[in-house]
Amino acid sequence: MSTLELDPAFVAACNTHGLDPQKTNMFLLECALQGREPSKVSMFELDRQPSPLWAKVRKLNRAAA
Mean pLDDT within 49-62? 87
CA nearest neighbour of 26 among 50, 63, 49, 62: 50
Residue 1 has pLDDT above 90, yes or no: no
Higher pLDDT, residue 64 or 57: 57
What tens digit of pLDDT does each residue of 24-55 get? 999 999 999 999 999 999 999 999 999 999 99
The chain-wide mean pLDDT, for the chain, equals 87
pLDDT for 7 equals 85
Residue 4 has pLDDT above 60, yes or no: no
Give residue limits of the domains in the chain.
Answer: 3-58
CA nearest neighbour of 29 among 63, 3, 5, 60: 5
